[in-house]
Chain A
Amino acid sequence: MIQCVCGKVKAHSLQHCRKYTTAGDSGSTAGKIVAASLLTVGGGLGGTILYAKWDPKFRANVEKSVPYSDQLFEMALGPPPPPLVPLQKKPGKIEPLQISSLSEASKESKQPKAKAKKSDPAPMEAPPAVEEAPAPQTLEEASAEAAHIISALGEVPSVPAPGTSDESPPGHMAAGEECKDHHEPVLKERPVEEVTARLAQQDKAEQDALAALTAGLEESLGSTAKTTLQAIGAQEAALTAIAAHTNKLKDAMDSQTPPDEKSAQWKALNEALSERTRAMEEAEEALLKAKGELEKLREVINSAKQSKIDTARPQILAAEENLHSMIVDLDKVVTKVQTAQTEAKIVSQYSELVNEAKAQFQQELANITPEIQANWKGLSGKLSADDLNSLIAHAHRRIDQLNRELAEQRVREQLHIEVALEQQKLEDQKALERAVVSALEHSREDMRLEQEKKVQEVREVMEAEMRTQLRRQAAAHTDHLRDVLKVQEQELREEAQEILNSRVMEQETHYRRLTQEQLDTFTLDMNAAYARLKGIEEAIDSHVIAEEEARKAHQLWLSVEALNYTLKSAGADSPTEPLEGAVGVIKESCAENEFAQALATAIPEESLSRGIYSEASLRARFYDIRRLARRVALIDETRNSLYQYFLSYLQSILLFESEQVPPPAKLAPEDLDTFKLLAYATYSIERGDLELAAKFVNQLRGESQRVAQDWIKEARLTLETKQVISLLSAYANAVGLGTTQAP
């Protein structure tokens, strides 16, 4: 016990101590709490600022959500970083396409006109020199391009998506960018809308440029093709013309046709020549035009290349290919033309020689046979035998001459051949060089084009690969997004469901409560109304009852009044009407009123049947009784002779006493004297007190009593009835009073 007490005391003291200590330390604890809270707040703020510095997106989010935070950030970190500038990957500077054979071709076209083969090597040297440079240049630039492309491809993973905005298709762009955004948080990114807008702009610009470019390209291509075709056609026409001319010339040289046809032939030859010249000129013009167009096309292609629109690359490549093919065709045709021309030259030379010879022959012939016409080939049967002989002789002579010449020529042939060979060698060399150069050029061009094509293909492949990768990334991203979205959707749905449920519950409970309240109020109202109704009904019932009661009372009263009235119907000496009716009415009217019934039954039968005398009559009768009672005052059982009668009569005459003597309060025995009693009674009756009078009269003895018997009876009846009636009336009054409702 003591221990417990001690313990309790100890506990209390400890608690007290603790309390004191806590009270004592409360100040420092409060300070600690304040310091801790300040620290927390400061830490939170600092952490937010640091993270915003590191993650611009977070910064943007915070700036969006928390007002005035952007000012704080600006103060702390400086303005938000500018949106990401898309890295414009500049493709390698593509040198303008050198139309390799342009100068060559133009120069070559000038060659047949100039007919100066010596000048060929000179200009030919220039173009190769010129072309040597561009060729390696093209190679270099091609390699540079390739390197660029490869480097660009290599840069693709590191360079964020906007860098490749120009390369990759715009539609892929946004996804790629978002992809990049997610995977490249290092680089600051512009907001998506800006990027997409820029991209859209870029795309639009690209599209426009592309469209313009393609249009330009197509146009120029078309025109160039047209002109080239024209040129080719012209060249071919020239070729054919040359060929025709040459053939014609050959044919003309073949002196197998009769002379008359020769002229036609020669005419045709002239025509062919003119044709050829014309065709050559035309071909020349067309070639020039084609060259010009090709140059233009080259310019356009260069400009297209410079515009760095990748989508046009295949078109550019195709255009270049077309250009190249056109050039090639043109060159081929030109070479053909040239060969034809050389052939023609040879043939013409040959034809000249032949013509010379023919002319000579003709001259000789003319000398011999002056009358024969020039076109002796055409003649057949118009010559005479002599002419023929002479002709034959001439011909033989001529043949001999020719044989000699032939021999001579054979001797000279070598030299000529050597010379010609030399010439030819030179020419061949030149031509070879030219051809080599042109072939080289063409091959270079081909290679370049192939390279470009390959590059293009590689690029396309790479692009495709990149696209696939990006697509994969995008797919992965979309999958991830989908998953995340799904999860989020789930969460949100659950949340929403919860909220919905809670709201629905709330609404339900609210509704229930409202309905309950309504019900309650309604019930209350109903109850109240019902109660009121009930109250009203009860009131009405009670009212009805009260009215009934009142009616009954009224009736009772009325009947009592009727009874009273019947009392009044008593005549001077005749009794009233029998009260039976009235009492019967009373009895009927208050059948359930026991009191009234009792009272009604208490009414003496006599009054009912016979009626009662009124007081006045009784009063009057009393006097008679009095007189009589006075006269027979002495007569009783003992004294009842006639003498006594006389004596009592005498006494009544001789006895003088006041008629009315007020009765004492107490009746003494000596007051029981007849005369005194009668005096009292008289007094009482004079005062209207029938009852007292009756009481006094009742005290009479003897003959007086016998005389007053009836009167007493009547008086009793009357009194009884009157009492009952008064009771009844009082009762009726009381009932009526009770039932009447005070307003």
Chain B
Amino acid sequence: MSEKELGQKWDRCLADCAVKLGTGLGLGIVFSVVFFKRRTWPIVFGTGLGLGMAYSNCQNDLRSHYVLHSKVAKEE
């Protein structure tokens, strides 16, 4: 169903966001913990990274239909 697509997209988006956020957070935390001595900025950075990635993915996913895909024709 086409109407479900948006929902699915949003679900994916959210899931992705969550994942990314989590991952980012996690990685942030990890990094912060690991690399950056529990600073918050890797967490935020990671979260933000995650969020941003999620956002971007979501956006791309949502606008994937409108994006023109070009191909380079091979010269024969």
Contacts and interface: CB of A to CB of B under 8 A. Distances in A.
Pair from one complex: yes
Interface of A: 621, 624-625, 628, 632, 635-637, 640-642, 645, 703, 706-711, 713
A637 B66 contact: yes
B71 interface: no
A711 B1 CA distance: 7
B34 interface: no
Contacts of A711: 1-3
B74 interface: no
A706 B5 CA distance: 9
25 contacts: A621-B1, A624-B3, A628-B3, A628-B6, A632-B6, A637-B66, A640-B59, A640-B62, A641-B59, A642-B58, A642-B62, A645-B62, A703-B6, A706-B5, A706-B65, A708-B2, A708-B3, A709-B2, A710-B1, A710-B2, A710-B3, A711-B1, A711-B2, A711-B3, A713-B2
Nearest to A629: B3
A701 to B, nearest CB: 12
A621 B3 contact: yes
A51 to B, nearest CB: 139
A632 B7 CA distance: 12
Nearest to B58: A642
Nearest to B63: A640
Nearest to A632: B6
Nearest to A642: B59
Interface in B54-70: 55, 58-59, 62-63, 65-66
Nearest to B10: A645
A707 B66 contact: no
A625 B63 CA distance: 19
B12 to A, nearest CB: 13
Interface of B: 1-3, 5-7, 55, 58-59, 62-63, 65-66
A229 to B, nearest CB: 180
Nearest to A638: B66
Given A640-B63, A640-B66, A707 B3 contact: yes
Chain A binding surface, main DSSP class: helix
B8 to A, nearest CB: 12
A624 B63 CA distance: 21
A711 B6 CA distance: 13
Given A642-B59, A711-B2, 8 more contacts: A621-B1, A636-B66, A637-B66, A640-B59, A640-B62, A642-B62, A706-B2, A707-B5
Contacts of B58: 642
B56 to A, nearest CB: 9
Contact of A642 (B1, B5, B55, B66): B55
Nearest to A640: B63
B62 A707 contact: no
Nearest to B13: A642
Contacts of A641: 59, 63
A734 B1 CA distance: 38
Contacts of B3: 621, 624-625, 628, 707-708, 710-711
Nearest to B9: A645
B32 to A, nearest CB: 27
Contacts of B55: 642
A645 B55 CA distance: 12
A15 to B, nearest CB: 113
A624 B3 CA distance: 8
A707 B6 contact: yes
A625 B6 CA distance: 11
Contacts of A640: 59, 62-63, 66
Contacts of A708: 2-3
Q: Which 10 A-B pairs have the closest CB atoms?
A: A710-B2, A640-B63, A709-B2, A642-B59, A637-B66, A710-B1, A628-B3, A707-B3, A640-B66, A625-B3
Contacts of A628: 3, 6-7
A708 B6 CA distance: 11
Given A637-B66, A640-B66, A707 B2 contact: yes
A713 B1 CA distance: 10
B38 to A, nearest CB: 32
A707 B6 CA distance: 7
Contacts of B1: 621, 710-711
A707 B8 CA distance: 12
A642 B7 CA distance: 14
Contacts of A713: 2
Contacts of A636: 66
Contacts of B66: 636-637, 640
A709 B65 CA distance: 13
A186 B5 CA distance: 156
Nearest to B64: A640
B20 to A, nearest CB: 14
A711 B2 CA distance: 7
Nearest to A573: B1
B55 to A, nearest CB: 6
A711 to B, nearest CB: 6
A621 B5 CA distance: 14
Nearest to A637: B66
A16 B7 CA distance: 124
Nearest to A705: B2
A617 B34 CA distance: 55
A713 B5 CA distance: 15
Contacts of B59: 640-642
A636 B55 CA distance: 18
Indicate the member of B3, B5, B6, B58 with the most A CB atoms within 10 Å: B3
A703 B7 CA distance: 13
B24 to A, nearest CB: 17
Nearest to B56: A642
Contacts of B2: 706-711, 713
Indicate the member of B5, B55, B62 with the most A CB atoms within 10 Å: B62
Contacts of A635: 62
A646 to B, nearest CB: 11
A620 to B, nearest CB: 12
A9 to B, nearest CB: 113
Nearest to A645: B62
Contacts of A625: 3
Contacts of B7: 628
A641 B61 CA distance: 10
Indicate the member of B1, B7, B55, B65 with the most A CB atoms within 10 Å: B1
A637 B67 CA distance: 8
A512 to B, nearest CB: 94
B22 to A, nearest CB: 19
A313 B35 CA distance: 210
B11 to A, nearest CB: 14
B16 to A, nearest CB: 12
Indicate the member of A621, A625, A628, A636 with the most B CB atoms within 10 Å: A628
A677 to B, nearest CB: 16
A650 to B, nearest CB: 16
A311 B9 CA distance: 173
A548 B54 CA distance: 69
